[in-house]
């Protein structure tokens, strides 16, 4: 997909990867960009700077997702690209409170369901449209010390796969963005994982702008997996080739970084 003259909606767009994508997309001269975020004031700021339209949206609410898509259609026309980017970082293991598990599920997974539901009828009727799901390397591998985050990001990848398989022949294009560590506010939480883990994460972290550049390339090539950290493909291949060896290696890494059970936060 080329972004010129396209209508684009990005959730979680007032900061981090979402804001970087909005700014990078704007360079490609789209027809219009909707900057959606739960922080309405921040969304207004970013939208004003790129000439877009702001929408205050709680992505965990299905009605808000429908209103977001309706706004985009009213202002610009049918949505060509919906970037389901909003997400939250939830660490901890099986002891994480039920409320934390549910909130993480609602924001990290159901928001993708609600967003896709809102645009699919139009996209399938037109036999064209693109869904970009921001998952994580944690959705292909796993994230030490962060069970709710890892589980929900796996679910996002599974949903993206299902949509690509089910509707790919009807013109729908789907990508899953799976970065490893990115220099956003979420990365700060890594200090909770354990001794050494923050240094490990920051040493390989990409900037949001670098991620956005890779996204534009991935959309242009219409690749399902968009990997800002190319090494993740190798890790994923190793996992598939010898799952038991990969699990043993992850346990060894966990011990070496001091990221034991009950501690942690996501990438």
**Buried (b) or exposed (e) across 103-119, using 16+ Cβ within 10 A?**
ebbbbbbbbbbbbbebb
Q: How many residues does the chain have?
A: 267
With beta carbons less than 8 A apart as the criterion, state whether 218 and 25 touch.
no
CB 24 within 8 A of CB 213: yes
C-alpha closest to that of 85 among 107, 104, 103, 55: 107
The residues, any chain, with a CB within 8 Å of residue 67's CB and separated by 6 or more, are 55, 57
Residue 114 annotated among the catalytic residues of the structure: no
By the 10 Å C-beta count (0-12 exposed, 13-18 middle, 19+ buried), 67 is classed as middle
Is 161 in a helix, a strand, or coil? helix
Nearest alpha-carbon partner for 131 in 98, 101, 102, 166: 166
Residue of 76, 114, 130, 149 with catalytic role: 149
- What ranges make up the beta strands (E) of 171-235? 172-177, 225-226
**Phi/psi of residue 133, each to 5°?**
-100, 115
Q: How far is CA 17 from the centre of its chain?
A: 8
Q: Where in the sequence numbering do the catalytic residues fall? A: 149
């Amino acid at each position: 997909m080329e972004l010129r003259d396209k209508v684009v909606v990005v959730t979680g767009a007032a900061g981090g990867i979402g804001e970087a994508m909005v700014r990078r997309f704007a360079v490609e001269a789209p027809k219009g960009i909707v900057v959606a975020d739960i922080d309405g004031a921040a969304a207004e700021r970013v939208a004003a700077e790129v000439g877009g339209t702001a929408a205050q949206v709680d992505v965990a609410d299905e009605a808000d997702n429908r209103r977001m898509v309706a706004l985009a259609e009213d202002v610009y026309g049918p949505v060509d690209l919906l970037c389901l980017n909003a997400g939250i970082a939830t660490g901890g293991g099986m002891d994480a409170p039920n409320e934390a598990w549910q909130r993480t599920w609602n924001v990290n997974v159901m928001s993708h369901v609600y967003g896709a539901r809102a645009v699919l009828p139009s996209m399938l009727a037109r036999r064209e449209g693109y869904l970009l799901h921001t998952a994580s390397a944690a959705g292909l591998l796993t994230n030490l010390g962060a069970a709710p985050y890892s589980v929900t990001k796996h679910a996002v990848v599974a949903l993206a796969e299902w949509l690509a398989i089910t509707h790919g022949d009807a013109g729908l294009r789907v990508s899953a963005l799976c970065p490893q560590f990115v220099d956003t506010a979420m990365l700060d939480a890594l200090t909770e994982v354990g001794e050494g883990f923050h240094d490990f994460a920051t040493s390989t972290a990409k900037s949001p702008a670098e991620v956005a550049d890779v996204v534009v390339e991935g959309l242009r090539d219409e690749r399902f997996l968009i990997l800002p950290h190319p090494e993740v493909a190798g890790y994923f291949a190793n996992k598939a080739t010898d799952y038991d060896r990969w699990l043993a290696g992850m346990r060894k890494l966990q011990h070496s970084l001091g990221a034991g059970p009950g501690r942690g936060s996501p990438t």
